[in-house]
Amino acid sequence: MDAENVTRLRRVIGRLARLLNAAPVSENLTPTQASVLALVAHRAPIGMTELAEIEGLNPTMLSRVVAKLVDDGLARRLPNPNDQRAVQLEATDRGRVVHERIIAARTATVGQILDSLSPDVTDALRNALPALEALAEGLRTQKS
């Protein structure tokens, strides 16, 4: 792919991410808080170091995000059985419900937009899914 199209792809992915991240506002969570909650809900128990690496957050910022999730009853700290100085996180039942509502809101939003597009565009998007998934996996493994 040429540089111009790579730039277009990068820009549209960034724009989509920003627009989709607006969905958690109704849950009184910032996009970062919603993202951390999603990771905790899917990968629990998960340690702070792993969370920081995945989210690209410094420990101070992550600590603030986690404190908000814990204070709001969305996550809880657990002792790390391998390191008594460290903690792990897991989502509470309430946290999982909030996370599911965020996913449902995002899915509904995207679904409504897709419903308003032409069948040719929705077919092209469906056909592009494997390539986009491969791109996401490539980006994930490159970060590791």
pLDDT digits (tens, 9 = 90+) for 63-106: 999 999 999 999 999 988 888 888 999 999 999 999 999 888 88
What pTM was computed for the model? 0.80
First vs last Cα of the chain: how many Å apart? 24
> What b/e readout covers 100-127, taking b as 16+ CB neighbours within 10 angstroms?
eebeebbeeeeeeeeeeeeeeeeeeeee
The pLDDT of residue 98 is 95
pLDDT digits (tens, 9 = 90+) for 49-60: 999 988 889 999
DSSP assignment letter at 27: G
Q: Round to whole Å and give the CA distance between 44 and 46.
A: 5
Give domain limits for the chain: 3-143
- Regarding the domain delimited by 3-143, which CATH topology (the fold level of the hierarchy) does it fall under? Arc Repressor Mutant, subunit A (1.10.10)
Contact between residue 90 and residue 75 where contact means Cβ atoms under 8 Å apart: yes
